Amino acid sequence: MRARDRKNHGARPASRAAAGVARSSEPELALPPGLVMPAGKAVLGKCPPPLDVPAEIKPLDDSWRQWIVDNALRRCPADGMVSTVATAGFDPAQASGFIAALPHNPMYRAAERQRDRYERYARVMQNVQAVRESGDDYTRVERRADLSRDEFIERYVRGCRPVVITDLARDWPAMKRWSFAEFKRRYGSMTVQVQAGRDKDADYEVNKVSLRHDTNFAAFLDRVATSDVTNDEYLTASNELLRRPDFAGLLEDVGPLPDYCDDTLRHSASLWVGPAGTRTPLHHDTLMLLHTQIVGRKRWRFVSPLSAPKLYNDFDVYSPVDFEALDLERFPEAANVKVLDVVVEPGETVFLPLAWWHQVTSLDKCISLSFTNLDVPNKFDFGHAS
């Protein structure tokens, strides 16, 4: 039996120091951790060690106190929390005492009021979302051609729903010109910024700034062209490459644009280049955009902003939920989320409506262009830093 499973073990201090036990002047005996020699007692001989040596029990620290408060606010039962604390090697008796005191703590009571307000908002969102989902075709992403400005704005921008536009890029020179070989011929000598070493960082999207890496464009394109499926290296929107005068020629290959875009593409477009297997984890953007596949296919998974309460969005615009490999033990609420799933083919453009969550996987080696110059108000405040 492990120490942490033993009854009452938590009543013992984790160590002498932690318990504030004064050291005696007697020579130190190798006592099992957690056992305290009564002060002033003569040592007669060495006792046989107990059969069942307790592991060191650590005193409850602030990060576990915060964990308890988080989970108490989520209405987790006390015994479950105490058992988790004990399993992690921390003092369950302290945890029980801390939990019992919570209802009397004014800070905890204030947090409960915030929680209750949040839950009322979340219920409103969930009910509105339930009405939206009640249509048979809720999870189908429409594919449209010949979309008028009025219909695009009314049905998709204001209606806040994604759509794949099949003919937006039909006449773009980029559709015929852009390839890995052509990029290499025209811009191979340039240095570009990519995200590298993503495989080594589970939070690669959140930490994207620290993964920035300058590389020669030709060498990068060669790696993309010859690599197997990988998520390790990706030239993403944050490269700012299309804002550089030496890449201005690329934008001449883009257009004509539909009449629901304005003509300031130069400031609003981003290039994405990467191998099959790149993955952009679940997040929402702070504006609306169009994203055109020039080479290769991408799979987009969309989740309504009204489902946000089920996405464990504890940090900025990111969710830890992965709908490609759903972990229901960690994220049980995500089981009830309806996901719209669509593969965007070369030449097709996907519209990302405001605040829709999305995660994106490249099915092939891809070259894509995203642009945000919609001719509608497209600046919003999400309290987001960048």
Ligand X SMILES: O=C(O)CCC(=O)C(=O)O
* Structure letter (DSSP) for residue 377: -
Count of residues interacting with ligand X (CB under 6 A): 12
- Which residue, 12 or 284, has its beta carbon nearer to ligand X? 284
Of 298, 350, 357, 369, the one binding ligand X by CB under 6 A: 298
- Which residue, 129 or 280, has its beta carbon nearer to ligand X? 280
- Which residue, 358 or 365, has its beta carbon nearer to ligand X? 358
- Which residue, 14 or 157, has its beta carbon nearer to ligand X? 157
User: What track of x and - describes contact with ligand X for positions 229 through 268 (by CB under 6 A)?
Assistant: --------x-------------------------------
* Structure letter (DSSP) for residue 155: I
- Which residue, 86 or 360, has its beta carbon nearer to ligand X? 360
Taking CB under 6 A as the binding criterion, the range among 49-57, 140-148, 278-286, 336-344 that sits at the site for ligand X is 278-286
User: What track of x and - describes contact with ligand X for positions 340 through 359 (by CB under 6 A)?
Assistant: ------------------x-
Residue among 129, 111, 72 nearest 308 (CA): 129
- Which residue, 196 or 289, has its beta carbon nearer to ligand X? 289
Of 282, 337, 360, 374, the one binding ligand X by CB under 6 A: 360
Q: Is 82 among the residues that bind ligand X (CB under 6 A)?
A: no
**CA–CA gap between residue 198 and residue 233 (Å, rounded):** 6
Phi and psi of 149, rounded to 5°? -55, -45
Q: Is 291 among the residues that bind ligand X (CB under 6 A)?
A: yes
Q: Is 272 among the residues that bind ligand X (CB under 6 A)?
A: yes
Q: How many CA atoms lie within 13 A of 143 on its CB side?
A: 9
The partner residues of 214 in beta bridges, in order of sequence, read: 193
**CA–CA gap between residue 311 and residue 244 (Å, rounded):** 37
Shortest CB 187 distance to ligand X, Å: 20
Residue 379 CA: distances (Å) to CA of 308, 350, 369, 370: 20, 19, 20, 16
Name every residue whose Cβ is closer than 8 Å to that of residue 311 and which is 6 or more positions away in sequence: 282, 303, 319, 321, 333, 334, 337, 357
Shortest CB 287 distance to ligand X, Å: 9
User: How buried is 115 (Cβ within 10 angstroms: 0-12 exposed, 13-18 middle, 19+ buried)?
Assistant: middle
Binding residues for ligand X, rule: CB under 6 A, are 237, 272, 278, 280, 285, 289, 291, 298, 358, 360, 368, 370
